[in-house]
Amino acid sequence: MSVRCIGEGHRSSLSFRTGTVSSDGRVTMDPPGPHPAAASAGPGTHHREAFRQIGRRTADRDNAWYVLDALPD
């Protein structure tokens, strides 16, 4: 999760937290570490059917599926 933080003088920064979302939609946040840490990016795995489920819940379903169908497996 990312959040935008605004401090004194209207300076902003980004903060990131990790956690999990269970299959029933429950969100659990991991405890923060004692010090800030830099993250590393890696390749992700995405499942087309999971995105189709999201597409089924939107009023713009046809456009969502048009985009999904154009992506590689």
For 64, residues 6+ apart whose C-beta sits below 8 A from its C-beta are: 51, 54, 55, 58
Tell me phi and psi for residue 37, to 5 degrees. Answer: -140, 145
d(CA 9, CA 67): 42
Structure tokens, 54: 């999201």
Does the global pTM surpass 0.85?
Answer: no
pLDDT of residue 20: 93
pLDDT tens track of the chain, all 73 residues? 787 777 676 666 777 888 999 999 999 999 987 887 766 777 877 777 777 777 777 777 788 778 888 877 7
Looking at residue 31, the DSSP 8-state letter turns out to be P
